[in-house]
Amino acid sequence: MNDCEEYKERLADWHMGRLEAAAAEDMERHLNNCADCRETLAATAFVLDSINNLQDPEPSVQVKADFRMMLDNFKAKEKKSVFRDRICSRLLQPRLPLAYGLLILFGIGGAYLLGRSSKQELEGQELHAGVQEQKQTMLLAMLDNPLASERIKAVSYTNDLRKVTDKVIDALFTTLNNDPNVNVRLSALEALSALGNHPAVRTGLIKSIPTQDSPVIQLAIADVMLNLQEKDSVGSFRELLKQKGLDDEVKKKVKETITKLI
Amino acid sequence: MPVFSTVKQKTNKSCLGILSDNALMLQVKAGDLERMSLLFERHHKTLFGFLFHLTQRREASEDMVQTVFYRMLKYRNSFTVGSNFSGWMYHIARNVLKDENFGLYSRYDPISAHEEQLAGGNLADDDLEKKQSRQQLYAAMAILSEGDREILMLNRVRELNYPEISDIMGISQGAARVRVSRAIEELKKIFIKKGIKRDS
Amino acid sequence: MKSYALALIAIFTAVQGMAQVDRQLVVHLSDANKPFTLDVSVGSVAIDVSGWEGKDVVVEANAEDVTAQEKNNEVTVKAPNGRAIKLNIKVPRTTGIFKLSSVNGGRMTVSDVTGNLELQNHSGGITALNISGTVVASTVSGSVIVSFRRVDQGAAMAFSTVSGSMYITFPATLKANLKVRSDNSKVFSDFELASDPAHPQTLKTEKDGFYHMPADDWIYGLVGGGGPEMLIKNTTGNIYIRKAR
């Protein structure tokens, strides 16, 4: 008549509150009368409590920022594809004479299906690509956005990357040296200055000096080189001083910088 | 794709005017993608904990959280009125773990995990005692089989009951109950072997 | 789709209350319900843009050889170099993208518009008043005065000049990560600033409730718990970052 085995099997459930009222009552009555089961319960409870008391670690603040970026990007992509699907579905409803219509259907439909499958392939690749690579891809695409504000945002995302790859550094330099907007170039410069421990960054910044013609950037780059204590930049700064029409403030600062670096 | 079903909606908070997880997810499915951020607020910490306890890798677990939410957005159409949000989310989490070759289908390596702890600096713990007991538990869990470890961590999630766990694991509810029970017994034995005792 | 179309009606009038207007161009937008773009890139031209109740873009200039072209809601205004020309442009109050750039024209002003503003100047300040949206503004000599009625949530912005004071007024509900620097002058703000965990600093206040910070290096402060980055920089001239009343 040893149905303790059955009770023992359900001790965990009882402890977790998963037994329905009648069964729970029954269990409690049994426990009242069975020291052995009480002992087993204590051991079971200890194990379950140890597991439940495991502290869930606090994820870093980056997780939320990453999620925001991912969601915004996802929404933007969805808008685009909804638009395309709408066009495609309209095209697939021909009101032309049947033969002609079928021809078009095959042509467009075929192209659409082709497009669809390669899209799925790409999506499959996306899913398997690491989260960090996805972030990088999003970021690099954003650096080409027609709005300066979005490009500035993209540059600020580089601060959130766990590992800054050469691709990203190249993109930042392209931005620093070619972006039509002064403020975007300025933010790229600031992002690069935070990466001063990469030797490629220092070399790139030195090369960039004579190409900059905006006083805002010229002044900022002088600050950056001073901060990095980059003595190798002196040559480039001397070259910059030869530039025609150089702003007075810039002349002053560059001379100061050269003096401090030597 | 398994159908997740619940007989009773125990987590339905709608009577308070707060939308339940299922209702929110249905809104996401209907096109209100922004609602996903509310689901993120509610669940990302527990999800991160689940992944972390199984892999001991902080960065990888953070990345996997992103992947899980991305997949829920991507596959939102497969979430139906009968679905259970937490069951669905942890089912996806398990797949992500599989894909990333962590925890489940690769050797759980407590040594390299420990190294990552030292390098990465883990939980800021004021309490040395708490830290020690946590380390003890992790060490004990490392000895468990992967399946036992996984089912105990699933069982630990408040929102997952036997119906959800059975759907996630693809087994019957009865089998799920038995597995949980057996895993607990295994862990008990390990506790005894390692001399982990409760304070009387 | 409209093919490349020039849509302009040239009226030669002398308008009262405004200095001599030699040319007035009324530009119809292809779709008045959709956002428009205004593109003005000039040399020594003063640009003044303001929002109005009408549906068209109206360009007034004190010179004859000013042109305005429209294609799919993109309006491009061109003016010749070399002379001091004034452009007064009125735009609808619907959402627009504004790309305005001048070199020697003097102060650039925009007011009462909605949308995304990219303002570049050189010898002359920039004023943008009662803006609903996003502003990215840069000049070399001249002050930068910007006031927002509303900011686009989540949009990054930047304001820079070399010599000139800066007055930026944001709505009190602003959520942003401020990054501010003035090499030679001070920074004042009446926003409640929290330290940025990524760049821990002590942010000092003084009795009148304003933060007074000498800023020969970057100051990082979180407003409203943090948000997109707002970069504000100059070399000389005080910087005031204020809450709208």
Tracing tokens 């070619």 back to the chain, one arrives at A178
Q: Compute, in degrees rounded to 10, the torsion defined by CA atoms A115, A118, A119, A121.
A: 170
Residue C7 — pLDDT band, cuts 50, 70, 90? very low
Residue C10 — pLDDT band, cuts 50, 70, 90? very low
The answer to whether the beta carbons of residues B6 and B160 sit under 8 Å apart is: no
Of A184, A214, A219, the CB nearest to C235: A219
- State yes or no: chains C and B have 3 or more CB pairs below 8 A: no
Chain B window 76-95: which residues touch A at a Cβ cutoff of 8 Å?
A: none
Q: How far apart are CA B93 and CA B69, in angstroms?
A: 9
- Residue B136, in any domain of the structure: yes
Chain A residues whose beta carbon lies within 8 Å of the beta carbon of residue B180: 12
Residue A58, pLDDT score: 87
- Segment B154-183 shows an average pLDDT of 92
Whether the pLDDT of residue A243 is over 80: the answer is yes
Q: Which amino acid is at B77?
A: N
Q: Which amino acid is at C123?
A: S
Residue C6, pLDDT score: 35
Q: Which amino acid is at A63?
A: V
- Residue B149, in any domain of the structure: yes
List C128's β-bridge partners, or say none: C110, C146
Q: How far apart are CA A39 and CA A41, in angstroms?
A: 5
The answer to whether the beta carbons of residues A130 and A66 sit under 8 Å apart is: no
Q: Which amino acid is at C222?
A: L
The answer to whether the beta carbons of residues C129 and C147 sit under 8 Å apart is: yes
- Segment A156-182 shows an average pLDDT of 90
Q: Does B184 touch chain A (CB under 8 A)?
A: yes
- State yes or no: chains B and A have 3 or more CB pairs below 8 A: yes
Least trusted range by pLDDT, from A19-33, A97-111, A239-253, B18-32: A97-111
Report the SS3 class of residue C157. Answer: strand
Q: How far apart are CA B90 and CA B97, in angstroms?
A: 10
- Segment A50-74 shows an average pLDDT of 86
- Please tell me which residue, C38 or B112, carries the higher pLDDT value: C38
Residue B3 — pLDDT band, cuts 50, 70, 90? very low
- Segment C31-50 shows an average pLDDT of 93
Q: Compute, in degrees rounded to 10, the torsion defined by CA atoms A225, A231, A235, A241.
A: 40
pLDDT in tens, A36-51: 999 999 999 999 999 9
- Segment C108-122 shows an average pLDDT of 97
- A75/B34 touch (CB, cutoff 8 Å), yes or no: yes
Report the SS3 class of residue C129. Answer: strand
- Residue B32, in any domain of the structure: yes
List C24's β-bridge partners, or say none: C11, C60
Share of chain A above pLDDT 70, in %: 81
The answer to whether the beta carbons of residues C74 and C154 sit under 8 Å apart is: no
- B70/A127 touch (CB, cutoff 8 Å), yes or no: yes
Residue B128, pLDDT score: 75
Whether the pLDDT of residue B8 is over 50: the answer is no
- Segment C152-159 shows an average pLDDT of 92
Question: In whole angstroms, how far apart are CA A49 and each of A42, B47, B48?
Answer: 10, 19, 20
Of A147, A182, A187, the CB nearest to C120: A182
Residue A32, pLDDT score: 92
In terms of average pLDDT, the best of B36-45, C9-18, C207-216 is B36-45
DSSP-derived letter for residue C123 is B
Q: How far apart are CA A9 and CA B181, in angstroms?
A: 7
Q: Which of C182, C240, C106 is nearest to A216 (CA)?
A: C182
Instruction: Give the nearest chain C residue to A223 (CA atoms).
Output: C217
Whether the pLDDT of residue A220 is over 60: the answer is yes
B31: left (phi over 0), alpha (psi -120 to 50) or beta: left
- Residue B41, in any domain of the structure: yes
- Please tell me which residue, A110 or B197, carries the higher pLDDT value: B197
What is the average pLDDT score of chain B? 80
- Residue B167, in any domain of the structure: yes
Q: Which of A83, A66, A75, A88 is nearest to B31 (CA)?
A: A75
Residue C82 — pLDDT band, cuts 50, 70, 90? low
Give the angle A94-A119-B25 at the CA atoms, nearest 5°.
Answer: 95
Torsion angles phi and psi, residue B140, rounded to 5: -65, -45
Q: How far apart are CA C185 and CA C181, in angstroms?
A: 9
Q: How far apart are CA A213 and CA A247, in angstroms?
A: 10
Whether the pLDDT of residue B71 is over 90: the answer is yes
Instruction: Give the nearest chain C residue to A180 (CA atoms).
Output: C120
Token pair of C21 as six digits = 């207007």
- Please tell me which residue, A231 or B123, carries the higher pLDDT value: A231
The answer to whether the beta carbons of residues A219 and A213 sit under 8 Å apart is: no
Q: How far apart are CA C215 and CA C239, in angstroms?
A: 10
Least trusted range by pLDDT, from A208-217, C36-45, C210-219: C210-219
Is the ipTM reported for this complex over the cut 0.90?
Answer: no
Report the SS3 class of residue A173. Answer: helix
The answer to whether the beta carbons of residues A16 and A48 sit under 8 Å apart is: yes
The DSSP secondary structure of B1-31, one letter per residue, reads -PPP--SS-TT--GGGTPPPHHHHHHHHHTT
Q: Which amino acid is at C197?
A: P
Residue A199 — pLDDT band, cuts 50, 70, 90? confident
The answer to whether the beta carbons of residues C128 and C137 sit under 8 Å apart is: yes
What is the residue range of B89's domain?
A: 14-194
- Cα distance from C87 to chain A (closest Cα, Å)? 22
- Please tell me which residue, A78 or A91, carries the higher pLDDT value: A78
Residue B123 — pLDDT band, cuts 50, 70, 90? low
Size of interface A-B (CB pairs under 8 A): 103
According to the CATH classification, is domain A133-261 in 3.30.70.1280?
no
Residue C12 — pLDDT band, cuts 50, 70, 90? very low
The DSSP secondary structure of A108-125, one letter per residue, reads HHHHHHHHHHHHHHHHHH
Of A152, A249, A253, the CB nearest to C136: A152
Of A150, A182, A249, the CB nearest to C160: A182
- A67/B62 touch (CB, cutoff 8 Å), yes or no: no
What is the average pLDDT score of chain A? 82
Residue A206, pLDDT score: 94
- Residue B200, in any domain of the structure: no
| Domain CATH number, residue B37 | 1.10.1740.10
Beta strands in C64-142 (DSSP E): 67-71, 74-78, 85-92, 95-101, 108-111, 114-120, 126-138
Report the SS3 class of residue A15. Answer: helix
Q: How far apart are CA A2 and CA B36, in angstroms?
A: 52
Q: Does A44 touch chain B (CB under 8 A)?
A: yes
Share of chain C above pLDDT 70, in %: 87
Residue B133, pLDDT score: 81
Q: Does B166 touch chain A (CB under 8 A)?
A: no
Domain count, chain B: 1
Residue A18 — pLDDT band, cuts 50, 70, 90? confident
Q: Which of C198, C204, C202, C161 is nearest to C177 (CA)?
A: C198
Q: Compute, in degrees rounded to 10, the torsion defined by CA atoms C129, C132, C134, C139.
A: -10
Least trusted range by pLDDT, from A56-70, A243-257, B35-49: A56-70
Q: Where are the domains of chain A?
A: 4-48, 61-129, 133-261
- Segment B123-147 shows an average pLDDT of 79
Token pair of B74 as six digits = 């991507």
- A44/B180 touch (CB, cutoff 8 Å), yes or no: no
- Segment A129-145 shows an average pLDDT of 83
What is the average pLDDT score of chain C? 86
Whether the pLDDT of residue C94 is over 70: the answer is yes
For the whole model, what pTM was predicted?
A: 0.69
Q: How far apart are CA A176 and CA A204, in angstroms?
A: 10
Residue C162, pLDDT score: 95
- Please tell me which residue, A117 or C63, carries the higher pLDDT value: C63
- A183/C155 touch (CB, cutoff 8 Å), yes or no: no
Token pair of B29 as six digits = 């499915």
List C194's β-bridge partners, or say none: C222
